[in-house]
Amino acid sequence: MTGDPEVLLVTQFYWPEPIGSAPYCTDLAEWLARSGWRVAALTCRPHYPAGVVPEAYRDGSRDRERHGGVAIERLAPWRPGRRGAFGRLAGELAFLLRGLAALATGRAKRSRLVVSLCPSVFSVLLGRFACRRDGRHFALIHDIQSGLASGLGMVGGGLLPGLLRQLERRVLNGADCVFVLSDQMRRRLRRQGVTTAIEVLPIWVDAGAIRPLERRAGEPTTVLYSGNLGRKQALDQVLALAEVLQRRDSSLRVVIRGEGGEAARLQEEARRRRLGNVEFRPLLPLERLSEGLAEGDVHLVPQDEKAADYAVPSKVYGIMAAGRPFVATARPGTHLWQLQETTGACHCVPPADAEALAEAVLALGVDARRRAELGARGRAFVERHHDKAVVLGRLEAALRRVATEPSGGVVFGRG
């Protein structure tokens, strides 16, 4: 990186990774660059969700490049093919250590304004070290890592979940402001002892780039799950749904599109259950996102109920921008349930209830007019509240307040 950046984004995940937090990090960095900021990103070589670095990045020749006006500095991920919770934690720790080495050698430059992204608390900790003494550090929390790891049983029992919560609390309290995706996430962090300023900054979507498209004529009615194939998505619910639909001789087709740690297991389980109505497909490139979302007449947003207060499935806003309805598994009081009440663009059913999920999917599957009605409501809601210009404009305004104040103070209400 040449010169000190005005804003440094610290994140493990970045362009060209197609799903997860990478598109949002890239959106944020490039938005700031187009708005006149000098922006740098400290990140890993791309490896999500497959856990494999693409050939074009393996030799390190693209560890320093520019894209969308952003200076990108990439670090080698640790054993990107390794799966499982402990492998993931080790990879996150390696990102921290390699990032510290890059800062110590001057390969990466510290900045007065740092924005770090968590699903990994180690990225937030690296952001703290990357912030100059007179600087300010914002943490964007897309997942509360300790809650997900503990609730989904990813790190087992014993001392580790408690140590992860303590680390998370100390690191987040060292930030000047923490941004979360929902009120539920803010309340969870408060209960964990996070006392720094917490603001709700919702997921954004480019409502200009993702637009409603007509479905292809002659295609069977399609129920679509698209995204990461991981633990917190609780995708066994999709296979259970397909089993009910097959038993009822429904003509609905179930498509699972994505990559991730659960992919091979899910495909084997579908074969074991002899599910002839399920198709597995690879992810489409980002430039075909609208086309891919349009393929689903009814979208699925399954979620493990133990993860409901620790994360927000970002895919719902892309689905709504595409003018499609979705059926989610969620309990009353969760973010997805409140989204149902606020927008009227989706249906929520209890988690792990395949019959209830099938009833909701079948009701939408046979009613094209109802699907169009829900899709239009979702599109209108996203345009008003989640368009990129609205959400990122708010975050940029916060950065400008900090940048222009001699004291560097952050002007926020205490959440």
212, part of any domain: no
Residue 149 has what pLDDT? 54
The answer to whether residues 352 and 394 belong to one domain is no
The answer to whether residues 326 and 342 belong to one domain is yes
The answer to whether residues 155 and 280 belong to one domain is no
Contacts by 356-361, CB closer than 8 A, 24 or more apart: 357/237, 357/240, 357/241, 357/244, 357/327, 357/329, 358/241, 358/244, 358/245, 358/248, 360/327, 361/223, 361/241, 361/245, 361/252, 361/298, 361/300, 361/327
378, part of any domain: yes
User: CA-CA distance, 383 to 385, in Å (whole number)?
Assistant: 6
8, 117 contact by CB (below 8 A): no
Residues 6 or more apart whose CB falls under 8 angstroms from that of 409 comprise: 402
4, 110 contact by CB (below 8 A): yes
Residue 157 has what pLDDT? 53
The answer to whether residues 127 and 228 belong to one domain is no
The answer to whether residues 157 and 231 belong to one domain is no
Residue 411 has what pLDDT? 44
Residues 6 or more apart whose CB falls under 8 angstroms from that of 40 comprise: 1, 5, 7, 8, 9, 70, 71, 72, 73, 108, 109, 111
Closest among 238, 381, 235 to 322, alpha carbons compared: 381
2, part of any domain: no
Residue 251 has what pLDDT? 94
User: CA-CA distance, 77 to 335, in Å (whole number)?
Assistant: 33
The answer to whether residues 74 and 192 belong to one domain is yes
pTM of the model: 0.84
Residues 6 or more apart whose CB falls under 8 angstroms from that of 87 comprise: 79
270, part of any domain: yes
169, part of any domain: yes
User: CA-CA distance, 293 to 315, in Å (whole number)?
Assistant: 10
Low-confidence stretches of the chain (pLDDT < 50) are: 1-2, 150-152, 154, 408-415
The answer to whether residues 131 and 279 belong to one domain is no
1, part of any domain: no
The answer to whether residues 40 and 71 belong to one domain is yes
The answer to whether residues 314 and 175 belong to one domain is no
Q: Tell me, letter by letter, the H, E, C secondary structure of the chain.
A: CCCCCCEEEECCCCCCCCCCCHHHHHHHHHHHHHCCCCEEEEEECCCCCCCCCCHHHHCCCCCEEEECCEEEEEECCCCCCCCCHHHHHHHHHHHHHHHHHHHHHCCCCCEEEEEEEECCHHHHHHHHHHEEEEEEEEEEECECHHHHHHHCCCCCCCCHHHHHHHHHHHHHHCCCEEEECCHHHHHHHHHCCCCCEEEECCCCECCCCCCCCCCCCCCCCEEEEEEECCCCCCCHHHHHHHHHHHHCCCCCEEEEEEECCCHHHHHHHHHHCCCCCEEEECCCCHHHHHHHHHCCCEEEECCCHHHCCCECCCHHHHHHHCCCCEEEECCCCCHHHHHHHHHCCEEEECCCCHHHHHHHHHHHHCCHHHHHHHHHHHHHHHHHHCEHHHHHHHHHHHHHHHHHCCCCCCCCCCC
216, part of any domain: no
318, part of any domain: yes
The answer to whether residues 396 and 378 belong to one domain is no
Residue 158 has what pLDDT? 60
State both tokens at 134: 């007179």
The answer to whether residues 251 and 313 belong to one domain is yes
Structural domain boundaries enclosing 64 = 7-204+388-404
The answer to whether residues 93 and 234 belong to one domain is no
Q: How many separate domains does the chain show?
A: 2
The string of pLDDT tens digits covering residues 3-33 is 567 999 999 999 999 888 899 999 999 999 9
64: CATH:
3.40.50.2000
Residues 6 or more apart whose CB falls under 8 angstroms from that of 106 comprise: none
Q: Phi/psi of residue 139, each to 5°? A: -115, 125
Residue 82 has what pLDDT? 52
